């Protein structure tokens, strides 16, 4: 059990001191109310975190608005240099960030050290570099000069989930700040602590007061007043479809543009010419982060000619996964994030089994470990159209279905209201082009999985979200894109002619 500090405002988590107050206007702000932060590893309390509401949100938005003018007017190179200093600070505290987030949300420590925290730093560096490189093209139009420019929009509200809290937050914070906006972050109440550490890092890097603010708390008390606040100009949210509907309704009253990433029910489509070893590897990769990955391909669709051998190999490989404490280097699958989420995942599986599905692997809690550890599970024979095949479980649960023809496989892959991602395995390059073009998803991986570039567009179709972020697409969202047309020098008359 992690030791707790005697200070009312500081928790000691894995030997790292974390201030549990909000960060508003360049200083720590306390609230009368707190909430208990529980670690998924052992369901022990690790911190009493200050819980904000309307007053803290008002203060944070006010601070962000007051800081906006100076930050937006700062030369882009100076802004970029500060963000690179933030990235350096993330690198310097990589171990602290990794250990705290592992304790906070239960994800693997080795993943945080090797991939997640380096990506956090990259989120700042990449967009700092891009802000300096982005062009403001000037074109000639009927003797006039036309210039496209990117003006910062104002105050950006960022609301992020618990499965990768710091990485997903900085994926939005990085471009928002690089574009010249100021930010109010509402971190997830199930994993809020690394957001507080980021505030310290940003402050140490010289980010001016009010440019970045953190208000902690529940969605109802802190998230709701932020989403409906008239002082915000952009809102980026990652989470569930029902919550997104509530947020969209609140933001609509102030005509606030939205960027939503809302999860999925993605398919892993294994055609009859697939490399089986590769297909098995990709299927087992879906158990990463205990299945708490929005991009995961949890509907495995296998050509009927390959099904028996594929399933045999997948069972052998998945059975070898080690489940346990995420701080252990040997662990492959850890716990689910919270007791409510654990019960939600268990409910999905129990209802699927009652509806006729069979568990060929797992199927319930890991009784040897207890707590929030749910066994990696593979279900077959699920009824077409059943809940387990249509709703996002967000846990270590795969379903396996078969198909007879390429056309049927594509139809099954697209038979979802979501459209975040899809993964295709085939040995034929021409077939890869043909089938991938017909898959309804914002991202399609062919013979690979989870290969992401910060310059690529990211987002989902259907119920998986609204908009795209990444590369210049991020600046399209976090900026007001302006077109300015100049008459020839010395002209005073207005030349008409309409659009062309």
Residues acting as catalytic residues: 261, 294
Q: Please check whether residue 90 is in contact with residue 101, taking contact to mean a CB–CB distance below 8 angstroms.
A: no
Q: Please check whether residue 211 is in contact with residue 182, taking contact to mean a CB–CB distance below 8 angstroms.
A: yes
Query: What distance lies between CA 480 and its chain's CA centroid?
Result: 24
């Amino acid at each position: 059990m992690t030791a707790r500090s005697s200070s009312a405002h500081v928790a000691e988590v894995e030997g790292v001191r974390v201030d549990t107050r909000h960060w508003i206007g360049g200083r720590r702000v306390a609230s009368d109310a707190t909430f208990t932060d529980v670690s998924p590893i052992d369901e022990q309390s690790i911190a009493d975190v200050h819980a904000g509401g309307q007053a803290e949100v008002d203060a944070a938005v006010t601070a962000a608005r007051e800081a906006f003018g100076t930050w937006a007017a700062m030369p882009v190179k100076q802004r970029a240099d500060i963000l690179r200093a933030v990235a350096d600070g993330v690198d310097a505290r990589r171990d602290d960030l990794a250990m705290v987030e592992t304790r906070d949300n239960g994800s693997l420590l080795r993943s945080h050290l090797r991939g997640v925290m380096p990506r956090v730093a990259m989120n700042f560096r990449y967009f700092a570099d891009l802000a300096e490189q982005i062009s403001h093209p000037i074109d000639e139009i009927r003797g006039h000069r036309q210039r496209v420019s990117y003006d910062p929009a104002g105050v950006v509200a960022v609301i992020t989930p618990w499965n990768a809290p710091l990485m997903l937050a900085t994926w939005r914070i990085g471009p928002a700040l690089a574009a010249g906006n100021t930010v109010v972050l509402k971190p997830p109440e199930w994993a809020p602590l690394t957001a507080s550490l980021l505030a310290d890092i940003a402050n140490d890097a010289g980010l001016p007061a009010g440019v970045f603010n953190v208000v902690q708390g529940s969605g109802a008390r802190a998230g709701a007043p932020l989403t409906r606040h008239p002082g915000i100009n952009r809102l980026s949210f990652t989470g569930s479809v029902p919550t997104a509907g509530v947020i969209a309704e609140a933001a609509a009253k102030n005509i606030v543009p939205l960027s939503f990433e809302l999860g999925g029910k993605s398919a892993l489509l294994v055609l009859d010419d697939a490399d089986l070893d590769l297909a098995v590897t990709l299927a087992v990769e879906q158990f990463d982060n205990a299945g708490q990955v929005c991009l995961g391909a949890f509907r495995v669709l296998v050509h009927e000619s390959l099904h028996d051998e594929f399933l045999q190999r997948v069972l052998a490989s998945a059975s070898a996964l080690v489940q346990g404490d995420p701080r252990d280097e040997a662990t492959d699958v850890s716990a689910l994030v919270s007791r409510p989420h654990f019960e939600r995942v268990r409910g999905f599986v129990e209802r699927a089994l009652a509806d006729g599905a069979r568990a060929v692997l797992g199927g319930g809690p890991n009784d040897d470990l207890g707590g929030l550890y749910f066994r990696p599970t593979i279900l077959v024979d699920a009824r077409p159209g059943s809940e387990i095949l249509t709703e996002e479980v967000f846990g270590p649960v795969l379903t396996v279905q078969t198909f007879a023809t390429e056309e049927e496989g594509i139809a099954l892959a697209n038979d979802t209201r979501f459209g975040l991602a899809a993964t295709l395995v085939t040995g034929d390059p021409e077939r890869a082009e043909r089938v991938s073009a017909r898959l309804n998803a914002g991202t399609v991986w062919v013979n690979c999985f989870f290969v992401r570039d910060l310059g690529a567009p990211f987002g989902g179709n259907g119920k998986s979200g609204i908009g795209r972020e990444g590369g210049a697409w991020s600046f399209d969202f976090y900026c007001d894109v302006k077109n300015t047309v100049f008459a020839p020098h010395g002209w005073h008359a207005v030349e008409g002619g309409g659009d062309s």
